[in-house]
Structure 1
Amino acid sequence: MLNLRRAVGEVELIDARSGDPRVAALRRDGVDLDEGMAVRHGGRLYHGAEAVQLLAALSAPGGMMRALLKSPRRAALIYPLLRAGRRLTLRLLGRPPIG
């Protein structure tokens, strides 16, 4: 996150469990936030592996995540593991899916 902010400036994170109207808009647009993160950039919506790859590509050079995920192919391979880790963590914490 620090490398991303260094490279692009302010980054706004939105809690998908909040009542933020942008979360509801994503749901109406068919975006399943349990299946992956969503990023709006340059007037376009990115979801899942594509979103994480974009964030890595936009980040300042030198970060581990940038090195691992800036390639679309590597991001597509690694993202399911990241998503599985998130699901496991939420389950261990007793938190339900966003759905």
Structure 2
Amino acid sequence: MSNNEVLLIYDKECPACDNYCQVVRIRETVGKLRLIDARENSEELEEITALGLDIDQGMVLKLDGQIYYGSDAIHALALISSRSGLLNRLNYYLFRSKRLSYIFYPMLRFLRNVLLKVLGKTKINNLHIDGNHRF
């Protein structure tokens, strides 16, 4: 990973998550955003699993070696995002506050879980599968 690379690990099979991650734009001065599908085995998923982070409970942002999870990730994304475009401005205004991010993120996670159920998709379950570690 280069110093200017920003990693976002999320569930690509969730249409809402995927659309959000495709639309969010970070400022060029911050670096280049690299999206990582949490449904594919990767070093990044192994790292967050080793840290005990459940990807079904929140997306993960890695910026300058720092890991942001769930509401902290969406808050950090809002702060480093570009303000160009309606959705990026909306993202900034909704999630620039750590408190609002903390309040809204569980609702977004709940809606993701409902959407996955309606679409017949399983959760990622990166921490355990039938009581065994995935990796």
Partner of 2:90: 64
Match runs of 1:1-99 below 5 Å: 1-4=23-26, 8-61=30-83, 63-99=89-125
Deviation digits for residues 35-91 of structure 1, max 9, x if unmatched?
A: 101111121101010000000111123510110001000100110111111111111
Instruction: State whether residues 58 and 69 of structure 2, in contact with CA within 8 Å, keep that contact through their aligned partners in structure 1.
Output: yes
The RMSD of aligned alpha carbons is 1.6
Instruction: State whether residues 7 and 60 of structure 1, in contact with CA within 8 Å, keep that contact through their aligned partners in structure 2.
Output: no
Partner of 2:3: none
Displacement of 1:25: 1.8
For normalisation by structure 2, the TM-score amounts to 0.67
Q: Which has the higher helix share?
A: 1
Q: Which has the higher strand share?
A: 2
Uncovered stretches (5+) of structure 2, i.e. residues with no partner: 1-22, 126-135
- Write out the 4+ residue segments of structure 1 that deviate beyond 3 Å after TM superposition: 5-9
Change (3 A) 1:17 1:84: same
Over alpha carbons, which structure has the higher Rg?
A: 2
